[in-house]
Chains A and B, each alone.
Chain A
Amino acid sequence: MVKKVYGSAAEALEGVLFDGMFIAAGGFGLCGIPENLIAAIRDAGTKDLTVASNNAGVDDFGLGVLLATRQVKKMISSYVGENAEFMRQYLSGELELEFNPQGTLAERMRAGGAGIPGFYTKTGVGTVIADGKEVKNFDGQDYILERGIVADLSIVKAWKADDTGNLVFRKTSRNFNPPAATCGKICVAEVEEIVPRGSLNPDEIHLPGIYVHRLVQGQHEKRIEQRTVRTREEA
């Protein structure tokens, strides 16, 4: 029986981290981010990282903690507006940034994980995103060639897992986690709860365990980025 469950985030990352590596991370804003694995990478001190992630966290949470420690060399993201330290490092030239349209980034991860080295998309045609990329006309419409992403390591967060790595996500915290999980040569997942084998409904697995190599049950702060509410009277 292959053991996928590890006792801590640090143990789950043992032997897979190296300087200069390429990491794909799940999460959208601070929702569904692998917060325990990010903290373990900070503690490991792995540096010169290239990280593909839709966002870059905030100053003191999410991927922001790896920016604060200068462990990140380059980000591949669609939106980074919530992180002041990120902008400071970027504007001073300390940090490289490659903007990808959000759907292009998601599809690059999905394609990379599915063995598809590139795909054509209308997204970005006629914009700076198309600079230097092959343009091909299909049925009268221009498309640009985008490359699939294959990362050295994927770090993702799910709600529940069984010990074989089958994952179930919760509500909008699914976001980039499944495509990010599939595109890593090694995928480490942190979950809120590891449940006994057989207790997840096989028809309701969101990501099959074939994509998940290592698992850890973590403690999750699940910080809210923009708390918006209405009063009971308004409802």
Chain B
Amino acid sequence: MPWDRNQMAARAAEELEDGMYVNLGIGIPTLVANYVGDKDITLQSENGMLGMGPFPIDGEEDADVINAGKQTITELDRTSYFDSAQSFAMIRGGKIAAAVLGAMEVAENGDLANWMIPGKLVKGMGGAMDLVAGVGRVIVIMDHANKKGESKLLKECTLPLTGKGVVDRIITGLGVFDVVPGGLKVVEIADGVTMADIEAATEATLVA
């Protein structure tokens, strides 16, 4: 059985190490916070917060404490607040160890597309282009195939890029893949999935 979204998030949490400052994207990446366990991880929210806590208890919401998805959240005893220029200075300056992001397409050279589909509603890139250009390590969590069943791991991206050659590791329902010279290297296969399953489901070049 391929990994479900929670298992993918749990696998992504294994990438995070004690002491890391990390930015989690909207969607499945948000679930990664549920699986960090006792590790000393500080979450950054790019609207201006380090040390992001859980959702508030019903009735204790504060309009002045939101995350980058505009959801109400809470602060922790380690929290600091700062402005947007400072927030992206730490992102652009390489101080954030890793970002975990969703994607529409990833190419075998690490190109990432996750912000627009031409002809469809364009909402904007938000902070995604800054994050992928700036953070130490970019980890993508996404389904292996799109809704039509086509591989999202491609030889070349077809959609407008968010960043060029920026992805380090991809976690899909079928396994874990690293961007290496010449293509994608399979570093882990989900339980019950075979290498043949991965080869059949993947357009990108797989290298040993």
Contact = CB atoms under 8 A, between A and B. Distances in A.
A183 to B, nearest CB: 10
Interface in A99-150: 99, 101-107, 109-110, 121-129
Interface stretch (A37-45, A63-71, A73-81, A195-203): A73-81
Q: Is chain B's binding surface mostly helix, strand, loop or mixed? A: loop
A190 to B, nearest CB: 15
Nearest to A32: B64
A31 B134 contact: no
Interface string B36-49: 00000000011111
Nearest to A129: B129
Contacts of A224: 61, 63, 66, 72
Most central of A102, A109, A124, A224 by chain B CB within 10 Å: A102
Interface string A52-88: 0010000000000000000000000111111000010
B66 A226 contact: yes
Interface stretch (B10-18, B140-148, B162-170, B200-208): B162-170
A177 B122 CA distance: 25
A29 interface: yes
A152 B205 CA distance: 52
B83 A123 contact: no
Contact of A101 (B48, B59, B81, B125): B125
A173 interface: yes
Interface stretch (B50-58, B98-106, B188-196): B50-58
B130 A103 contact: yes
B72 A121 contact: no
Interface residues of B, number: 54
Contacts of A169: 81, 83
B64 A171 contact: yes
Contacts, number: 183
A230 B81 contact: no
Given A78-B126, A226-B66, A172 B47 contact: yes
Interface stretch (B1-9, B84-92, B176-184): B84-92
Contact of B71 (A109, A171, A173, A228): A228
Contacts of B71: 226-228
A64 B41 CA distance: 37
A107 B66 contact: no
B124 interface: yes
Contacts of B89: 107
28 contacts: A28-B47, A28-B66, A28-B84, A54-B84, A79-B124, A81-B123, A102-B88, A103-B46, A103-B92, A103-B127, A123-B129, A123-B134, A126-B111, A127-B129, A128-B160, A170-B64, A171-B49, A172-B64, A173-B64, A174-B83, A176-B84, A179-B83, A179-B85, A224-B66, A226-B69, A229-B58, A230-B54, A235-B54
Closest 3 CB pairs of A and B: A103-B88, A126-B164, A81-B123
Interface of A: 28-32, 54, 77-82, 87, 99, 101-107, 109-110, 121-129, 159, 169-179, 206, 222-232, 235
